[in-house]
Chain A
């Protein structure tokens, strides 16, 4: 009896191993992702992404300090999640706003953009309550003049 229950336990553990391996892939840190395509797949799966110009993104054309670039995100529509990215950066994800119910989408933040003399637009993805994904891009690319940090 003891031998049978022991072998049953081993078989159950062997079945659990692939599930644990899958879990470790899902736990991949979003900030470590280097590809925009991979980031979009991890965040939104195969959802269709539609451009929505009602999401306003304000950025400076030339950032005096690349270590502190002001970004403004405004929208009159309600979304439940706002994802801010800089696609030409080594790690594109800057942050994710989880918007509470009834909140106003008028967010101002400062990002660190290290681009080695390249430029990047700021691309914002917004998810509404029906899990539809919308996207908009800043009107022009930011050229960071150089960071003061590190």
Chain B
């Protein structure tokens, strides 16, 4: 599993936690890849876990924007300050990337 480039920002609010994340990937469609003359590379599966509990899971297609960014909310019971966040994503080229961070407000 390779180390991937991503950013996760956490905002602790009253009863919910807002999570903003961004993953570095070109998210090329077939036409874009042909035009650039490279292999089509896009993310096929994203999972974010907090202390091994899945809090976000998404299966994108190449029709999600380049460097996909997501914002989602989860209850404060699922994500606490100091939790160990692990973001794993798989690409169409068969590669798996991992990014880890502590859940701290930044």
Contact = CB atoms under 8 A, between A and B. Distances in A.
Given A93-B63, A94-B61, A98-B57, A104 B74 contact: yes
A103 to B, nearest CB: 6
B85 interface: no
Contacts of B71: 107-108
Interface string B56-77: 1111111111101111111101
A147 to B, nearest CB: 9
A94 B60 CA distance: 6
Interface residues of A, number: 29
A110 B65 contact: yes
Given A104-B73, A106-B72, A150-B31, A95 B66 contact: no
B50 to A, nearest CB: 10
Contact of A109 (B32, B68, B73, B74): B68
A93 B61 contact: yes
Interface in B11-54: 16, 27, 29, 31-32, 35-36, 53-54
Interface residues of B, number: 31
Contacts of B65: 67-69, 110-112
Contacts of A31: 61-63
Contacts of A86: 63
A68 B72 CA distance: 17
Interface string A108-139: 11111100000000000000000000000000
Nearest to B28: A150
A121 to B, nearest CB: 15
B64 A91 contact: no
Given A98-B58, A98-B59, A104-B73, A112 B78 contact: no
Residue among B36, B54, B61 with max Cβ neighbours from chain A (10 Å):
B61
Interface of B: 16, 27, 29, 31-32, 35-36, 53-66, 68-75, 77-78
27 contacts: A67-B65, A67-B66, A68-B66, A91-B63, A94-B60, A94-B63, A95-B63, A95-B64, A96-B58, A96-B59, A97-B57, A97-B58, A98-B59, A100-B53, A103-B55, A103-B78, A104-B72, A108-B71, A109-B64, A109-B69, A110-B64, A111-B64, A112-B62, A112-B66, A149-B66, A150-B31, A150-B35
